[in-house]
Chain A
């Protein structure tokens, strides 16, 4: 898994190094043989670079697995700090550079996204790299995130709209797709 993350990141880190026609999407191969999609936006006023990477994973919707795990992990990766930096240091460094990182899961992918002004590339990319390959995973922080998800799930379970949607989903799709996206 760690190798995979490093490989993918090595690919996306090259985004923004190559200039092409504005808004034209091309499939580019790195010297290491990794492919990525590249869309330069060479327009006045466009100052930020966005990098999106998706890892195939159906964990959040798979029967027999604890579905909450990928949600908690995604939150902890972004908010919980790295081996080298405390959570607050990561947050304030990102804020200083008007940069944003998100990590979320869907039915078939775990998706990471980072957005930053191009002049801060050399500061932000190493931090994101640390987040992905060397997260802190402090048990106390994980516990805090778990509590947050439990509270949210509890709140959702009392929501009539949510209950109706879940029931309709179960009736239409059946198992294993009937699993609620917030886990049990």
Chain B
């Protein structure tokens, strides 16, 4: 059989087409979302979801309470005002069943969303962007909104003693810096919020060119992209020149432990509150660090060898209940928060000693490879269950926006998990063991 130039070109083209098809296919599979170019926003992300009739619109600014240079809680107050000024007051009566809307402020972001419909999303998207326009509210309304924030504070943070104890922990470990601030503020700061400062903070933080627009629903990326080119940009106030947003600084490491006893409110049980920071300088790939942190959380929160649940709750009766959260504050540190109630006959100091011993053994002596393998398999199994479900991807992306961390769709996460070997996990844990900064409080109940 003789190959002619023609047949060679044909075979070459056939392979090229197959290769291009594979690239497109795997490219699509690698991400569960589509990025769309826009002059208006920093980033536009779209997730197609035909399982619903709702078109979900979300605009998120990458500034939260940690960026607020004014009194504690002002970022949340500003969010209330921007919501009301932008669309909150008029939306419900206009949009009917699809009109659900809301807003949030976290330490790292401020977000607004509208759940719209196929027929109304174009109009609702323009409404949503009005949160970036200068605040257009009467002074009376703005002042009365402070009372609304105060009611929210009362509702969410009812247990005063526990709240104070928790606040003392964050203030110590974060050196009273940006990360020690609470999103809701305090009764003192809330009652003194300044309208002028809220306007300034709004002007500094609510910039569409810094924002991410996340859209999901039964529409097409092409329809969204086409519409974005037609949107008339809202009129924005120039940002104040003479002010700077607060910036994050690494904690000052200290071996000293901040500890204390707090008499709890009536009806409370004995409780140990424990907050510890660990360094993450050795972890440079943020996406990988986020997944490593999740794996570590699952290991520690288990009864497997290397976990703390066995020694504290199952092999012995020490902690009747405990909650553990291991999370990453990007550009800062790893945060370990532990809260536990002792079993009958166990003191808070015995509980603390048992927990610290278990944690030290896990971080300093290492975690067995068998435990790592077992937990990695769980994460892999959990991902398989959600890969094909757009609503889970949307939830994950929304969560990542609120934490102001890089996007990791489920397909990307699966790849990251596959690529993490035991030696990576070992090195991550070893790096954490180099330093620590700890604050704890004993909340003594009055049962």
- The yes or no verdict on A and B being binding partners is yes
Which residues of A are interface residues toward B (Cβ below 8 A)? 44-45, 47-48, 86-88, 91-92, 95-98, 117, 140, 143-144, 147-148, 150-151, 154-155, 157-159
| Interface pair A144/B317, CB less than 8 Å apart | yes
A residues in contact with B447, CB < 8 Å = 150-151, 154
State the CA gap A98–B383 with chains docked (Å).
10
Known interface pairs A98-B385, A144-B320. Does A88 touch B343 (Cβ–Cβ under 8 Å)? no
A residues in contact with B343, CB < 8 Å = 144, 147
Judge whether B388 is part of the interface by a CB distance below 8 angstroms. yes
Q: Which one of A48, A98, A117, A148 has the greatest number of beta carbons of chain B within 10 Å?
A: A98
28 example contacts (A-B, Cβ-Cβ < 8 A) are as follows A44-B388, A45-B387, A45-B389, A47-B385, A48-B385, A88-B310, A92-B302, A95-B302, A96-B377, A96-B378, A98-B378, A140-B317, A144-B343, A144-B344, A147-B320, A148-B320, A148-B341, A151-B269, A151-B341, A151-B447, A154-B267, A154-B268, A154-B447, A155-B268, A155-B269, A158-B267, A158-B268, A159-B158
| Interface pair B381/A117, CB less than 8 Å apart | yes
Judge whether B118 is part of the interface by a CB distance below 8 angstroms. no
Nearest-CB distance from B358 to chain A (Å)? Answer: 14
| Interface pair B269/A154, CB less than 8 Å apart | yes
Judge whether B324 is part of the interface by a CB distance below 8 angstroms. no
State the CA gap A176–B146 with chains docked (Å).
43
| Interface pair B381/A98, CB less than 8 Å apart | yes
B residues in contact with A140, CB < 8 Å = 317
Nearest-CB distance from B198 to chain A (Å)? Answer: 30
Judge whether B384 is part of the interface by a CB distance below 8 angstroms. yes
State the CA gap A86–B314 with chains docked (Å).
9
State the CA gap A140–B314 with chains docked (Å).
11
B residues in contact with A96, CB < 8 Å = 374, 377-378
Judge whether B15 is part of the interface by a CB distance below 8 angstroms. no
Please name the residue on chain A nearest to B389 by beta carbon: A45
Binary per-residue interface labels of chain B (380-412) against chain A in the complex, 1 for a CB within 8 Å, 0 otherwise? 011011011100000000000000000000000
B residues in contact with A87, CB < 8 Å = 314
Count B interface residues, CB 8 Å: 29
Sorted from nearest, which 6 A-B pairs have the closest CB atoms?
A: A45-B388, A158-B267, A88-B303, A88-B314, A151-B269, A154-B267
B residues in contact with A148, CB < 8 Å = 320-321, 341
A residues in contact with B341, CB < 8 Å = 148, 151
B residues in contact with A117, CB < 8 Å = 381, 384-385
A residues in contact with B122, CB < 8 Å = none
State the CA gap A151–B321 with chains docked (Å).
11
Judge whether B114 is part of the interface by a CB distance below 8 angstroms. no
| Interface pair B309/A88, CB less than 8 Å apart | yes
| Interface pair A155/B267, CB less than 8 Å apart | yes
B residues in contact with A44, CB < 8 Å = 388
**Restricting to B341-370, which residues have a CB under 8 Å from any CB of A?**
341, 343-344
State the CA gap A47–B385 with chains docked (Å).
6
| Interface pair A95/B266, CB less than 8 Å apart | no
B residues in contact with A150, CB < 8 Å = 447
Please name the residue on chain A nearest to B313 by beta carbon: A88
| Interface pair B303/A91, CB less than 8 Å apart | yes
